Amino acid sequence: MPRRCRPSPTPLGISKSVSGTSALPVAPSVSQSRRVVVTGLGCLTPNGSDVATTWESVVEGCSGAARITRFDPSDLPVQIACEVKDEPELANVPSKEARRMDRVLRFALLAAQEAVSHAGLDFDATDRERVMVAIGSGVGGVETLIANQRILETKGARRVSPFVVPYSIVNMPSGMVSIHFRLGGPNLSHSTACATSTHALGESAEAIARGVVDVALAGGAEAPMVPLTIAGFAAMRALSPNSESTRASRPFDVGRDGFVLGEGAAVLVLEAEDHALARGAQPLAVLSGYGASADGFHLSAPDRSGAGAIRCMRSALARAGFEPSRVDAVNAHATSTSIGDVVEARALREVFGRWTDHLPVSATKSATGHLLGAAGALEAILAISALHAQRLPPTINLETAGPGCELDHVAGKARPAQVAHILSNSFGFGGTNGSLIFSHPDA
């Protein structure tokens, strides 16, 4: 049975060794590309207030789910979620300003601060105009928007906050981080539903590879815990109605019936390898491959043939210059929905063929819930952590694989494994797909 537990912070055991300087395969659109590495990680999640506590919680099979506390959910058809429990104080931000911000902005800043600190980045010694920020969000500052709609209806237009627009727009997590660190490079915000931060990472890596920038702070942030969001997802039958919170998210299981909504933020520092080595940083991972595609099929349902997901994963493999057999493990998108999990399993079998039976698959949303726009970046952090721990996180609550979901599941508990390359998938509403491949720097 999964546990709702909060392990003490422990080191990830990341070995910061440096690989050679061989370039990535040339992308079709560029004549030459630089190797892109990860040098810093930061997150705030339902499972922990930083990377170390989050990893320990997830790898130990602890669930971040519980009854909703931010409001009384008694009138809603779904009353559980994966909420952030411990929100640290922001450094170098006046407390009054921090309290005024929408939570999605604080989440983004907290994750970015941890990532920058982890990377050892000194922006005073860096060309700030060659540092980009790409932190996306699915729903942005929805708490601010809903709160001010209530003020408008009860107290009138004059009482509406002048911050309602800047704090609610989707690009402000990225904007706030750019402002906080006084960065002058591109300031972008992807909003591609559940694939948001995967696309943010992939597109940032492409910008670095092309020489547009040297460094990127990339990821996603989400704070969707308002009654309307819960009610909306429930109306779509996307959320699990299971009131036993820690057992509700069960990707690939025969009894799966929807996801558990999550919140938080995850940010990674990406750098050109030559830039990282020149400043004395040692890479945590190489972002070896990135693929993106569209289903062109339906508002929320995936193409049941898996064609879009198949193209996406094959594109990531091609960008990395990998045969399918090079991939040692998969962090699946797997949201615990009846159709989506089957389609992803079908796509994995098509892409990896005879290797599929020996390809371990983890579905970490079983523990963290679905962080929407922040999910891909969080799962990238978990994949990189797995590369260094040589331990694959489990899919909790997976007891019996459902029809069509038969894979080499890391079910129930973590699995020791020799892994050099991990593929991570993100598939979103609107048929938007993203896949990333992370490699150990020594691989």
Residues forming the active site: 194, 333, 370
* Helix, strand, or coil (residue 277): helix
Cβ-proximal residues to 82 (8 Å cutoff; 6+ apart), any chain: 46, 47, 63, 64, 65, 66, 260, 261, 262, 263, 368, 369, 370, 371
Question: For the chain, what is the largest distance between any 2 Cα atoms, rounded to a whole number of angstroms?
Answer: 65
360-362 and 329-331: which strand pairing?
Answer: parallel
Amino acid identity, position 238: A
Q: How far apart are CA 344 and CA 206, in angstroms?
A: 25
Q: How far apart are CA 393 and CA 15, in angstroms?
A: 18
Q: How far apart are CA 88 and CA 112, in angstroms?
A: 13
Q: Is the alpha carbon torsion for 335, 336, 338, 344 positive or negative?
A: positive
Q: How far apart are CA 297 and CA 303, in angstroms?
A: 6
Q: How far apart are CA 435 and CA 202, in angstroms?
A: 8
